[in-house]
Structure 1
Amino acid sequence: MKKFTTLLSVSVLGGIMTLGSYKLFVEEGDFPGSQEQRIETTGNQAFPVSNNTAIYGTNADFTEAAEKTVHAVVHVKNVAVFPKSNSVWEQYYRGGNGGKAIQGAGSGVIITPDGYIVTNNHVINGASEIEVTLNNNKTYKAEVIGTDPKADIALIKVDAKGLDYIPFGNSNNVKLGEWVLAVGNPFNLTSTVTAGIISAKARDLNAGDGTPQSYIQTDAAINPGNSGGALVNINGELIGINTAITSQTGSYVGYGFAVPSNNARKIVEDIIEFGNVQQGILGIRGADVSAPISQEFGLNVSQGVYVSDVDLGSGAAISGIREGDVIRQIDNIEVRKMADLTGYINSKRPDDVVKVTIIRGEKERVVNVTLTKYETFAIQPIGLEVANASKEELKKFKAENGVKIIRALSSDKQTMSLIGIIITEIDNQKISDVADVRSILNSKDSSEPLSVTFINPRGEEQTYIWRK
């Protein structure tokens, strides 16, 4: 069996950096087709957004889009800073005076003329310093404004004015077979442009293992170093942030994946306005409709999302969505699988209202659903983050109440081994949701011991006490 490994394309660089020298063109001109831009404001920040109609056909000209976008894609270097040391190793390599070393690099996309840049979180993760080099070889220090590790998106900023930038396009409008360009710095080769088409939409690389993802797939060549770079249409609009490749070798074999621009844009707007990502949810659990599911539940459809559980009090529950329904459309987006649904929801915020088309029996109905906030809470004393548990998850653990552990706040193996299990009590008080956890923790003196009761998959309870 062939085994494909999904590789986030982190470029690991040596000490020698290949410098590309390019002339910076600053010219006025329009992309092919109508070039109509608007400024959408979120909080105190305005992000340029374009409403162009994509150009199709075999005679499409890539040169205008390439010339405009190449100046707005930067080289992002993840720099480690070493303190002064008297060790033999430091004496030999750095003279014992400390120094800097490039520990990784990738690309970034300038999205405003005053220096906001979108890149991948894995490009800048763990950096002591971040260096950004423009296409004209000017170098700036960048600061991290915020990150979303789950989506692998980061927002950084340089102190500069009048920069070339790429306006956001609408990734919901991309079509299979549409021409696209990937712009970035593969293998440290500055300002590289490759061409291809949209190969697939709403591609889930997890394949049912973990939270569904929703990537744009392209056959434009994407290699290590392209991470964080731009996927643009031939109008020069940003439709994706290049993020991952699937390859046995770690290099391009015809498959590249990008975070849709609507999702990336929503993340950076949330970071600027709220300081974190505001995630809205329908409040359902489900699975892709398949032949076995259709046969087992007597469904008359072959595509969609089968609703297996509905969270009490969620927007889905309030709107009347039930277990056994099949979701076929959300707003004007066809839902063929879970990745279509989650990809669209991830571009929305809590309290947004979406129109959901469901199939119940042989009847189709449309309901309006108000998205609710995906709530989590970090229990700092034990280094764990929790979220509300579904009825299915509680049933699996034979628990009547509790919250599920979704993340460890450290890389400690013992702590990470707790991910996925249920917490039923804190300080001998039963908890049913994140609000209960927050209330108990916020009312405690941080110096007091903390008692936490876990339940394992066999339904066995274990209580541990943490002391400061």
Structure 2
Amino acid sequence: MGEWRKARCASALRARRRLERPMKSSLHRTIFYAILLGVVVGVVTTKLMEGWPRATADGGAPAEGKKASREVLHSQAETFRHAANQIAPAVVNITTIEKVRMLVGDPDDLFGFGRFYRNRRVQEGKRIRGIGSGFVFDAANGYVLTNNHVVDGGEEWNVKLADKRELQAKLVGADAQTDLAVLQIQADGLVAATIGDSDRVEVGDWVLAAGNPFGMLEQTVTAGIVSAKGRRGLGLSNYEDFIQTDAAINQGNSGGPLVNLDGHVIAINSAIYSKTGGYQGIGFAIPINQVRKIADKLIRHGEVVRGWMGIEVRELKASEARKLGLPPDRGLVVEGVYLRGPAHRAGIQPDDLLLEVGGKPVHTSSELRDLVADYEPETKLQVKLIRGGKEQVVDVQIGTQPKSWGR
């Protein structure tokens, strides 16, 4: 038993000696590999950090990133500045004045109770009816564009230019159905706005609104984007095709220009939607392409003379379209024909299905109305229709829209 114990001790001693040698060599290798690993990690880390942007002293964003951001902001600011400078000289403030008549007494008879009414007299005066904005669009002839509701009810109109000159204006013409008006001033050195193309405007485009908010903050410019196009059925006017924007528009901005980043006019600021009476991010502007047509008629005729067919229509139902093998949005059903009107004289009948007018497809009643209104009275148009399942073409001579139409 004791031998076995000794033998065990001896073998344990031999094993311990065998183990001591490997432990010493393993420690050396571990130290070597640790040093080597540290060197490798250091080299790799250094190489990686060489490719990283250097941090700023204040621990903020990388210097290169900040510089790039500043350049973008400066570029954007320069673009806004350019657009504002382009339109500013053309923007005007408009004050609409009406004449009033008042019965007044004699100051010396303040407490005499007007015995025998000997000193009573009628005194004429003036008062401001409204204040709005506008812009010069024809410098040679002094034409200024604005809204009808800015000039409506006035007998005199004062226009204040960007250079502070104040001039009396003449009303060339106004159109309540589109809420547009043209004034004319006589002055040298007028600067006209550059007219853009509203058909090229896209939702998301940056725009600037210029004008005279609240009648006292002259030459104010606000920025926003085009929020939507083709807004109709708002009840603001009879002919609606508004551009919606979130650029701040307030009372007094009416009639001012809405411009793109080139400073070109794409619309006229006209109205806002608000539950408070102030700006709430929803403004509406009349597209300049529509404005140009109306302005041209106002300048030539002093009023807008519109074409008229003399029919009432409704849109084609999907079930009706399927029976006829037509797309659901194709065609308008004639519901009524005004006696002795243009359509009646041409032979158009109730229940006819109108497909095209003047070679253009018609889909909605407002589309048909706008299309016909653009034609001069006595213009002859071909109307393609379906009657009794058969397609035919009818010639219609456009009439003049009655003055009370659509009111």
Q: TM-score range by the shorter chain?
A: 0.5 to 0.7
Alignment partner, residue 216 of structure 1 = 243
Q: Is the 8 A contact 2:178 2:239 kept in 1?
A: no
Matches within 5 A, 1:180-259: 180-188=207-215, 189-206=217-234, 211=238, 213-259=240-286
Q: Is the 8 A contact 1:77 1:105 kept in 2?
A: yes
Alignment partner, residue 70 of structure 1 = 88
Alignment partner, residue 462 of structure 1 = none
How far residue 101 of structure 1 moved from its aligned partner, in angstroms, is: 3.3
**2:314 is equivalent to residue 287 of structure 1:** yes
Q: Distance in 2 between matches of 1:153 and 1:212?
A: 11
Please give the TM-score of this superposition, normalised by the length of structure 2: 0.63
3-state SS of 1:109 partner: strand
3-state SS of 2:86 partner: helix
**2:148 is equivalent to residue 121 of structure 1:** yes
**2:163 is equivalent to residue 136 of structure 1:** yes
CA distance change for structure 1 residues 327 and 229 in 2, over 3 Å: closer, same or farther?
A: farther
Alignment partner, residue 414 of structure 1 = none
Residues 403-435 of structure 1: CA distance to partner in whole angstroms, max 9, x if unpaired?
A: xxx76xxxxxxxxxxxxxxxxxxxxxxxxxxxx
- The structure 2 residue matched to 1:269, chosen from 280, 284, 296, is 296
Q: Is the 8 A contact 1:206 1:212 kept in 2?
A: no
Q: Which has the higher strand share?
A: 1
Matches within 5 A, 1:435-450: none
Q: What percentage of aligned pairs have identical amino acids?
A: 35
CA distance change for structure 1 residues 59 and 107 in 2, over 3 Å: closer, same or farther?
A: closer
Matches within 5 A, 1:375-454: 375-376=401-402
Query: Counterpart amino acid of 2:128?
Result: I
Q: Is the 8 A contact 1:120 1:152 kept in 2?
A: yes
Query: Counterpart amino acid of 1:192?
Result: T
CA distance change for structure 1 residues 336 and 122 in 2, over 3 Å: closer, same or farther?
A: same
Q: Distance in 1 between matches of 2:315 and 2:227?
A: 21
How far residue 192 of structure 1 moved from its aligned partner, in angstroms, is: 1.6
Alignment partner, residue 353 of structure 2 = 325
Q: Is the 8 A contact 1:266 1:348 kept in 2?
A: no
Unaligned runs of 5+ residues in structure 1 are 1-57, 378-384, 388-405, 408-468
CA distance change for structure 1 residues 165 and 210 in 2, over 3 Å: closer, same or farther?
A: closer
Q: Is the 8 A contact 1:287 1:305 kept in 2?
A: no
3-state SS of 1:248 partner: coil
Q: Which has the higher helix share?
A: 2
How far residue 244 of structure 1 moved from its aligned partner, in angstroms, is: 1.5
**2:108 is equivalent to residue 80 of structure 1:** no
Q: Distance in 2 between matches of 1:262 and 1:76?
A: 23
Residues 288-338 of structure 1: CA distance to partner in whole angstroms, max 9, x if unpaired?
A: 56xxx3246647534466333474764798598984536589878x86644
Higher-Rg member (1/2): 2
3-state SS of 1:249 partner: coil
Query: Counterpart amino acid of 1:250?
Result: G
3-state SS of 1:270 partner: helix
Q: Distance in 1 between matches of 2:289 and 2:133?
A: 19
Q: Distance in 1 between matches of 2:311 and 2:376?
A: 16
Pick which of 346-355 and 313-322 moved more.
313-322
Q: Distance in 2 between matches of 1:60 and 1:356?
A: 52
Query: Counterpart amino acid of 1:111?
Result: F
Alignment partner, residue 132 of structure 2 = 106
**2:172 is equivalent to residue 145 of structure 1:** yes
Alignment partner, residue 400 of structure 2 = 374
Q: Is the 8 A contact 2:159 2:169 kept in 1?
A: yes
Q: Distance in 2 between matches of 1:218 and 1:349?
A: 32
Query: Counterpart amino acid of 2:181?
Result: A
CA distance change for structure 1 residues 287 and 239 in 2, over 3 Å: closer, same or farther?
A: farther
Matches within 5 A, 1:327-366: 337-350=364-377
3-state SS of 2:314 partner: strand
Q: Distance in 1 between matches of 2:395 and 2:309?
A: 7
Q: Distance in 2 between matches of 1:240 and 1:368?
A: 37
Q: Distance in 2 between matches of 1:204 and 1:368?
A: 30
CA distance change for structure 1 residues 227 and 163 in 2, over 3 Å: closer, same or farther?
A: same
3-state SS of 1:187 partner: helix
Q: Distance in 1 between matches of 2:318 and 2:257?
A: 39
Residues 130-163 of structure 1: CA distance to partner in whole angstroms, max 9, x if unpaired?
A: 1111112111111111111222211111111231
Pick which of 156-165 and 269-278 moved more.
269-278
Alignment partner, residue 415 of structure 1 = none
Q: Distance in 2 between matches of 1:63 and 1:317?
A: 57
Residues 354-374 of structure 1: CA distance to partner in whole angstroms, max 9, x if unpaired?
A: 7988899999x9979767133
CA distance change for structure 1 residues 255 and 134 in 2, over 3 Å: closer, same or farther?
A: same
Query: Counterpart amino acid of 1:76?
Result: I
3-state SS of 2:247 partner: coil
3-state SS of 2:163 partner: coil
